[in-house]
Amino acid sequence: MDMSQPIVVVLHGADRPPAMGPVEALSRVRYTNAGGLWSALNGAHALFVWDSRTPVLARVWDAADSLRWVHAASAGVDNLLFPGLRDSDVLLTNSRGVFDEPMAEYVLGLVLAFAKDLPTTIRLQQRRHWSHRETERLAGSRALVVGTGPIGRAIGRKLGAAGVIVSGVGRVARAADPDLGDVVPMAGLRSALPHHDWVVLAAPLTPETTGLIDAAALRAMRGTARLVNVGRGGLVVQPDLIDALDSREIAGAAFDVFRDDPLPPSSPLWDMPNVLISPHMSGDVVGWREELVRRFQDNLERFRDGRPLVNLVDKRRGYVRGGS
Amino acid sequence: MDMSQPIVVVLHGADRPPAMGPVEALSRVRYTNAGGLWSALNGAHALFVWDSRTPVLARVWDAADSLRWVHAASAGVDNLLFPGLRDSDVLLTNSRGVFDEPMAEYVLGLVLAFAKDLPTTIRLQQRRHWSHRETERLAGSRALVVGTGPIGRAIGRKLGAAGVIVSGVGRVARAADPDLGDVVPMAGLRSALPHHDWVVLAAPLTPETTGLIDAAALRAMRGTARLVNVGRGGLVVQPDLIDALDSREIAGAAFDVFRDDPLPPSSPLWDMPNVLISPHMSGDVVGWREELVRRFQDNLERFRDGRPLVNLVDKRRGYVRGGS
């Protein structure tokens, strides 16, 4: 097959990727939204999933007659790991690395917002009300980071640099990890939860991690602890979270991701005290779109040249292996 | 003079200091608010200024017939440096050290709140509105910390640990300071301002620093920069600040201290976009009151024994010397 001008389908939502000139010079690009994907896939060699939130690919998979590679403009690939793609020879790559440091800063910001009671400060300011309160020290508090991939590691380093004592939860237990301290295996999550002030979710969504934080896990957390989720909404059983917040089993939650994304206006989470809702933006610093396109372009050059792709997802595990 | 049971006046506001048992065992304590200070000072040997915001001491100074020592339950002592006390032999000590690390965490929280647009997120959440935005990287941005005392140093270390490139402004210039990087003298402030994304005020209020941030200084700042003040309100010419925010000469401000404390409800600052107002609480972590009393108690034991007091303020300079 001549790969000097591969056919690339770009699956986009409301916004197209920016700065596609170099990609267009390397390939024949077909832009489409979800509705046009079925016909666009015909004869295409590569698919650039710019809108990673749509589950449409599973439904039109039979049209992928020439597809050899799918690249996700995201770190999580849970929407792409349906049986058709997973069991095929089609390669899957992701954008591992783009979001790590921005997300770690975001998590540190959320944690400090809780410790320093910043949401209350902002609400009091709206009422022009001066009300002194005491705040919490961050240094010396304990965080449990669930997920030992590059995002979890960046979070561990960032919190550690701010004086937080960090532990981790991962597939494999290990002691004295440089980024995450003592790492317990997933099976040890429940017994680790009571010993932490912050529980930060940064794991991929896989069959093993779906619903990881359920009623029993929330009950195991400290009453003073806060749950931060920048991973995937499906890591948490949302009704159980709402119950735990309602009954003050935990002291607060900051969520950037939700099973339903965007979070519908009818969700009770919006109005709950001590809950911070942000619109799936934790990793999206100025320039992130351009960086995502550069990552795809780099892999496209490799694809064209027949060189190995970077950030190849282990489709059985659901994430890029190595360093975790 | 028999100092085995010195007479100590405690000047308090609405709240008295907690956990005074050990102090009461060491001395004869007279509790008073501002109204009773004049008569309470008669024959007193030491004054514990628990309410450091009242300027009453200057007005009743003539009643201090036996006073040898004034201790402030604060880091800033600007309210106490009136000519009567300054030119006397009365010793002045402060609570240097109690607030350093809490304030540094608070400043990091404010800076991250701006970088990650957290105030907007909270306001949108109140309207149940999901609106994705791009955020800023904190690492690699540049902060200018005005004040090279222990609070400024703690801020420099904390921001530096989060990847911020830190410079300082102090009385004495020096290069490659371990906490503050390159430190320029006060006279170099204006030329340093255009090179920073964050300007953090943590200096004592002295004749040299009063009104340091005026219209010209604000004009020198980057249009994208934010001003953070955890020092003293008088460091900034407040009408100039309001003008600079109004005309978008700077991108935002977070103020924890104001010349009028509490900030009156009529102030236009409350409603300004990109302004964060907090009620003089940046250093006040859970347990701070008890810690302040312990610091006084430690110095009281020294006073009774005739040993040198710690955290002795250089009354001509307006702060404790050493390490700055």
Domain span at A271: 100-277
Specify the residue for token string 């090279």. Answer: B148
Check whether residue B254 and residue B109 sit in a common domain: yes
Number of other CB atoms surrounding residue B175 within 10 Å: 8
Check whether residue A90 and residue A108 sit in a common domain: no
- The pLDDT of residue A2 is above 80: no
State how far Cα B203 lies from the chain centre.
7
**Nearest by CB: A130 against B101, B131, B262:** B262
Check whether residue A123 and residue A209 sit in a common domain: yes
Residue A19 lies in a domain: yes
Give the mean pLDDT of chain A. Answer: 97
- The pLDDT of residue A190 is above 50: yes
CB A196 within 8 A of CB A166: no
Show the tokens assigned to A19: 């700065």
With both helix axes pointing from N to C terminus, report the angle between B100-115 and A100-115 in degrees, rounded to the nearest 10.
Answer: 130
Q: How far is A305 from chain B (nearest CA, A)?
A: 34
Number of domains composing chain A? 2
List, as one string, the DSSP characters of A144-176: EEE--SHHHHHHHHHHHHTT-EEEEEESS-EEE
Q: How far is A1 from chain B (nearest CA, A)?
A: 40
Q: What average pLDDT does range A63-74 have in this prediction?
A: 98
Check whether residue B89 and residue B153 sit in a common domain: no
Residue B168 lies in a domain: yes
Residue A2 lies in a domain: no
**Which uninterrupted H or E stretch holds B202?**
none
List, as one string, the DSSP characters of B25-55: HHSEEEEE-GGGHHHHTTT-SEEEES-TT--
Check whether residue A137 and residue A238 sit in a common domain: yes
Check whether residue A241 and residue A292 sit in a common domain: no
A-B CB pairs within 8 A amount to: 141
Check whether residue B93 and residue B117 sit in a common domain: no
Check whether residue A157 and residue A73 sit in a common domain: no
Which residue, among B324, B311, B226, has the nearest Cα to B272 in the 3D structure? B226
Q: How far is A138 from chain B (nearest CA, A)?
A: 7
Residue A193 lies in a domain: yes
In this predicted model, what pLDDT tens digit does every residue of B280-299 receive, in sequence order? 999 999 999 999 999 999 99
Residue A179 lies in a domain: yes
Residue B158 lies in a domain: yes
Q: Which residue of B has its CA nearest to A111?
A: B109
Helices (H), chain B: 21-26, 37-40, 56-59, 83-86, 100-115, 118-126, 150-161, 189-192, 215-220, 238-246, 288-305
**Nearest by CB: B136 against A116, A280, A286:** A286
Type of residue found at B164: V
Cβ of A281 within 8 Å of Cβ of B133? The answer is yes
Check whether residue B120 and residue B24 sit in a common domain: no
- The pLDDT of residue A324 is above 50: no
Check whether residue B302 and residue B233 sit in a common domain: no
Distances (CA, A) of A117 to A109, B289, B296: 12, 18, 28
* Residue B43 to residue B187: CA distance in whole angstroms: 45
* Residue A136 to residue B286: CA distance in whole angstroms: 6
* Residue B255 to residue B282: CA distance in whole angstroms: 10
CATH number of the structural domain spanning residue B28: 3.40.50.720
The per-type count for chain A, helices as H runs and strands as E runs, is: 11, 15
CB A179 within 8 A of CB A160: yes
- The pLDDT of residue B324 is above 60: no
**Nearest by CB: B108 against A119, A123, A162:** A162
Check whether residue B154 and residue B86 sit in a common domain: no
- pLDDT for position A1: 58
Show the tokens assigned to B223: 């249009």
Q: What average pLDDT does range B38-43 have in this prediction?
A: 98
In this predicted model, what pLDDT tens digit does every residue of B243-275 receive, in sequence order? 999 999 999 999 999 999 999 999 999 999 999
Confidence of residue B52 (pLDDT cuts 50, 70, 90): confident
Cβ of B135 within 8 Å of Cβ of A278? The answer is no
Q: What average pLDDT does range A20-43 have in this prediction?
A: 98
* Residue A93 to residue A71: CA distance in whole angstroms: 5
Show the tokens assigned to A187: 């099976």
- pLDDT for position A53: 87
Residue B2 lies in a domain: no
- The pLDDT of residue B323 is above 60: no
Residues of B in contact with A124 (CB under 8 A): 279
Check whether residue B209 and residue B111 sit in a common domain: yes
Show the tokens assigned to B19: 């956990």
CB A90 within 8 A of CB A97: no
- The pLDDT of residue B141 is above 90: yes
Residue B307 lies in a domain: yes
